[in-house]
Structure 1
Amino acid sequence: MLHSAAGSDLPRHVALLGYGGLLPFAALATLLWIQPEHTSHWTRALYGYGAVILSFVGALHWGVAMSSPMLGRLMRRKAFIWSVVPALIGWPATFTDHSIAGVLLIAGFWMQLAQDHKLVASGGLPGWYLPLRWQLSIIASACLAVSVAHGMLR
């Protein structure tokens, strides 16, 4: 177990999977700068991956809505509804202008984090969840911002 900023234990496998999921973000953002001749390819790959991950974190709300006895009826309904919104935000990012796509994904990750706070306040999630989500959101957003900046500087 790892010790998180919140003072609760973060399971090692969760940390490895979560932080490991940042590797494609970091690698693709780096490739934009070191292989500028393939900018379009790396940008499409980065935004495609971002859309997939945004959909994944949204789907976590579906899982919690199905399984957490701590959620009230209204919060359960809101969690089910929200769970599909990140996919609806991420999907257009796979086919819109690159600068718009990057901003859309960044906004989606921060809207997701706001919804995560609401879900955590309703109970049923471990203490390590929000600190981990904050860290992952910051790094994923920074990599996406690198791509947006790269596109603006070209």
Structure 2
Amino acid sequence: MSSSDTHRDHPVPRDALLFGYGSMIPFLAAATAAWTLPAPWPAYFVVMSIIWGALLLSFVAGVRRGYGFGNPGAWAKTEIVSVVAYVLPALTALTLVSLGSIASALFTLIIGFALVIACDRRAARCGNAPAYFLRLRGPQMSLAIVSLIALVVRVLEVAR
């Protein structure tokens, strides 16, 4: 069976699409605002996107852990590693932003969202996450990553 057949067998539920892509709107809005609004608004939107990103990574960690609790077949060790892999970048980003290291906080979130793509897709293949994560996580988290990259570029441009 090809991977495209597997994807068709596991459609993404509507609520997962709504909440999954809906949670990306603040990133897209922040990136747009950072590039189009006059000062001081871009700085506020950058910081808010860091806070939102940290919250979202923590939420995604909870989703994975919740799935592990509800699925006796999920590997507890894998689920715990995933939670740490998602929460650690979130906490690091919040610490960095509180220290004024905005670009580093954004880079940390980019790494965190890239980990979500890699880990959740692998987990879906192994039965440790819903099968539809194969279809959802890549495009969903790519929106966050692209938005965060746009914010990094803006922050670095303003700093010059």
Q: Does 1:121 align with 2:125?
A: yes
Alpha-carbon distance between aligned partners in 2 of 1:78 and 1:124, rounded to the nearest angstrom: 8
For the pair 1:91 / 2:91, whether they are aligned, the reply is yes
Aligned to 1:61: 64
C-alpha separation in 1, matches of 2:135 and 2:24 = 15
Query: CA RMSD, aligned part only?
Result: 1.8
Partner of 1:44: 47
Q: What is the TM-score with the length of structure 1 in the denominator?
A: 0.86
In 1, are the aligned partners of 2:53 and 2:109 still within 8 Å (CA)? yes
Please give the alpha-carbon distance, in whole angstroms, between the structure 2 residues aligned to 1:117 and 1:94. 26
Summarize deviations over 1:33-86 as a string: whole Å, max 9, x none: 111402221110011101111111122221122111222xxx322212421332
1:10 equivalent in structure 2: 12
- Give the Cα–Cα distance (whole angstroms) in 2 for the partners of residues 144 and 36 of structure 1: 19
Structure 1: gaps spanning 5 or more residues = none
What runs of 5+ residues in structure 2 fail to find an aligned partner?
1-5
Report the secondary structure of 1:69's partner residue.
coil
Say whether the 8 Å CA contact 1:59–1:84 is kept in structure 2. no
Of stretches 140-149 and 114-123 in structure 1, the one that deviates more from structure 2 is 114-123
Q: Contact between 1:70 and 1:122, CA under 8 Å: does it hold in 2? A: no
The CA deviation at 1:95 is 3.8
Percent identity of equivalent pairs: 27
Contact 2:68 2:129 in 1 (8 A): no
Worse-superposed segment, 41-50 or 122-131: 122-131
State the Cα distance separating 1:124 from its structure 2 match.
5.3
Aligned partners of 2:127 and 2:26: how far apart in 1? 31
Contact 2:50 2:93 survives alignment (8 Å)? yes
CA contact under 8 A between 1:25 and 1:46: conserved in structure 2?
A: yes
Identify the residue that residue 142 of structure 2 maps to in structure 1. Answer: 138
